Structure 1
Amino acid sequence: MSNKYTSIKVGVISLLSIFLLYYGINFLKGVNVMSNARVLHSYYNEIAGLTEGNSVTIKGYKIGTITNISFDNERNNELRVEMNIEDDIQIPLNTVAKIVSFDLMGTKGISFVLGDTSALVVSGDELIGDIEISLQDEVNAQILPLKNKTEELIGSIDSVMTVITTVLNKDARESLSKSLISLDETFTTLSETMIIVNKMVQENQENINSMMTNFSSITENLNSSNSEIKNILTNFSSFSDSLAKADILSTLNKIDAITYKINNGNGSLGKLVNDKELYENLKSASKELDELITDMKLHPERYVSFSIISPQNKPYVEPKID
């Protein structure tokens, strides 16, 4: 009898121990096994350090805990997060379960962003999953531009140091010194040139003023003669139009025909040009006629005589041709 009682006692103690162990584990996870809780779930591509037992809140008020996190092979290995939610909380079906950081230490949890639909979730429903940008990500986003500018500044400083190192080189210093001396000489020459030019301008100021006055006078004359210039241009335009309308080609053809006849000895002018004997006879006759006229001018009494007062005719003497 005592053995049977002992066995029952051991069994009861074992069951009680198992229950207490189960209750204790769930209690440590934040799960109240004695309450009627709804089991909801969401899917995430990554959970940013979320673990089982983390809290589920609405506006900072805890309404449940995360009970299980697992890979779902049927959804491209997305992470399935299951949550136990108090049954007396009304949650719209389009509520978003967002993973957030509860403190600066990075403690993760899920905060419900309540939807606006009238349909409410029941146990087994899926909520839309989302994840908040972490503080580290925000800091990285702010620091990244500063990091890039710092790298650019370091590169610029390196370039400046390279230039300084090059300038401090002995050969470079000598070259720079020679360049500065040459530049100084150039400025000196330019200054002397400006002095000379200024002196020339001062010495020829009257001539320059006179030139400007003459130029102004010419300009005024051109302005006053504007109408005359316009008439000249108009006449020139009319002359150009007349030339354009004239049958110049026909005239040139006629001149060419006349030249051809002259070259071939046709006509009097052609014979005169091409017949050498005729040309010599005409030349001789012209010479004799010239001599006759010269003699008539020198001795008119030989050709015109007045018997009343003139003496006897003098014999003809051939004039001397100088």
Structure 2
Amino acid sequence: MNKAQQTARVGLFFLLGIALIWVTFETLSGGKAWKDKGYNLIAGFENLRELKVGDEVRMAGVKIGSVEKTRLAHRRAEAVLRIQPNVKVASDAVATITMAGLIGTNYISIDLGSPNAAPLAPGAEIATKTTPDLNTVMSQIGDLGKKLEGALGSFGQAMNGDGKGGGLFQKLDRLVTENNDKIGATLTNLQEITGKINRGDGTLGRLVNDPTLHDQLVATLGEIKGAADQAKTFVANAQEIVDQVKAGKGTLGALVYDDTTGDNIKVITKNLRDVSDKLAHGQGTLGKLINDDTLYSDARGTLKKADRALDGLNDSGPISAVGVLANALF
């Protein structure tokens, strides 16, 4: 082996070593030899759920960055997200930790947010939401299975009994056995009742078998319906009258809501009271006629004179009768 071949082999092994070192470095640095250009966002969670550096950050299923760092801060876990410089994240966007399949790794999923929302500034904190992971779902399924098992056990115990007392089936069997005679009598009575109905006996039997009674029942129901319609019409008319009264329309509305009409009624009532007071005290002609006994006596005397004058007319001629009547009255 000459010196040139040996030098070539050493150079080849050197290049292979450099390539191996490069591949190792790329793998450990998440496939990036230098830090990506872009900006950082902070996402805080109660639990990062096995999220690690290098995991993807996706928006609408498209990769827009990766997890640059994970840390604990103020009793919570934070993930520092490195977002590509050409991607803008809306200020109302929400980040969640999502699992890629049943055995896949976790990644950060960010929704699109509102189209008119302002973008988050570099170094800002993005809103987050905790979603159930596979472990939580399996734990809840386990708890549900335990509850279902307990419920089925209670149901089975209620059906079959707990050893101290009989279950539901035993109680039903005992109830039927103890009341066998009563149940038989009840069934016999039901059979007799259905037989009477089939024969048309009794009111129910006639209703079932007599078409005339059926027609009369239908006609009666029609009359009841008509009466109900008339009642509805009456109520509607009454409501219309009430609305008119409330609006001050008509005589009754004017009496209730018109102040001028009310004042006039008050004046009329006062005048009637004054007239009744005057009549009670004997004032005026009508009051004297009602309260003065002298006028009553004079009227009786005049009637007696007229009676005597009429008696004298029978024995006198026409001219004498006029004179007798005048003398009797005056």
TM-score bracket, normalised by the shorter chain, equals 0.3 to 0.5
